[in-house]
């Protein structure tokens, strides 16, 4: 696929969705400034790497991307992609966005991998629903500068016939209140992923979709 230049995904109003590596999923992601997007995926699955793939794709398009991924294995440097392994709190994310806002390369996308690794502004772990809910509100406010995608672990029990349920996100379920989009991914074939669109401010939800990956 040939990648075009930075910011060509916007129209004159600035409201066009940013493309992802998965064209079939774009209409459900609504990846644009002002939006907070949650993506749930089973731990250890290929789908759990969606945040990294999305960050890599956006950086390859020439758009400044910041990926918060404390557990990511070392990778070769990628132009336009900044990987941060510390400072996974709203306060630090805000500082990064503000420091780049007045430069020639402001942040175009923030990806957080993953929710359970986030901290409060006091560098404390998120352990209570109230803390998780407050974190969602803070991230939604920060998304006004650049869209924020938050990966979360989907931990459905193996005996559950339908693992795509928001309550299997644990504390990350609190994102549902402030997120513009909440997607839960589950692979059902070698190259097919089922998606539960648990929340969508632009269409009815819940509903199911799928894409090839």
Is the residue at 13 inside a domain? no
Residue-wise pLDDT for 4-46, tens only, equals 334 443 433 446 899 999 999 999 999 999 999 999 999 999 9
Is the residue at 139 inside a domain? yes
pTM for the whole structure: 0.90
The answer to whether the CB of 197 falls within 8 A of the CB of 181 is yes
* Distance of alpha carbon 168 from alpha carbon 37, whole angstroms: 17
Torsion of CA 200, 196, 72, 65, to 10 degrees: -30
Is the residue at 207 inside a domain? yes
The answer to whether the CB of 150 falls within 8 A of the CB of 109 is no
Domain count, the chain: 1
DSSP-H helix ranges across the chain: 23-29, 50-60, 90-101, 129-142
Residue-wise pLDDT for 84-126, tens only, equals 999 899 999 999 999 999 888 999 999 999 999 999 988 899 9
The domain that holds 187 is classified in CATH as 3.40.50.300
């Amino acid at each position: 696929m040939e990648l075009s230049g930075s910011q060509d995904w916007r129209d004159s109003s600035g409201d066009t969705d940013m493309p992802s590596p998965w064209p079939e999923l774009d209409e459900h992601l609504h990846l644009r400034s002002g939006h907070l997007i949650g993506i749930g995926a089973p731990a250890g699955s290929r789908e759990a790497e969606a945040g990294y793939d999305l960050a890599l794709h956006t950086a390859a398009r020439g758009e400044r991307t910041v990926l918060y991924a404390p557990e990511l294995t070392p990778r070769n440097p990628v132009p336009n992609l900044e990987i941060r392994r510390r400072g996974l709190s709203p306060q630090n994310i805000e500082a990064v966005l503000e420091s780049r806002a007045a430069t020639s390369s402001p942040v175009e996308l923030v990806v957080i991998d993953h929710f359970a690794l986030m901290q409060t502004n006091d560098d404390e772990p998120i352990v209570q629903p109230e803390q998780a809910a407050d974190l969602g509100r803070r991230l939604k406010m920060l998304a006004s500068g650049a869209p924020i995608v938050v990966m979360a672990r989907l931990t459905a029990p193996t005996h559950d016939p339908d693992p795509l349920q928001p309550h299997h996100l644990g504390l990350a379920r609190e994102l549902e209140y402030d997120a513009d989009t909440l997607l839960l991914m589950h692979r059902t074939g070698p190259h097919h992923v089922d998606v539960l669109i648990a929340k969508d401010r632009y269409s009815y939800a819940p509903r199911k979709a799928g894409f090839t990956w």
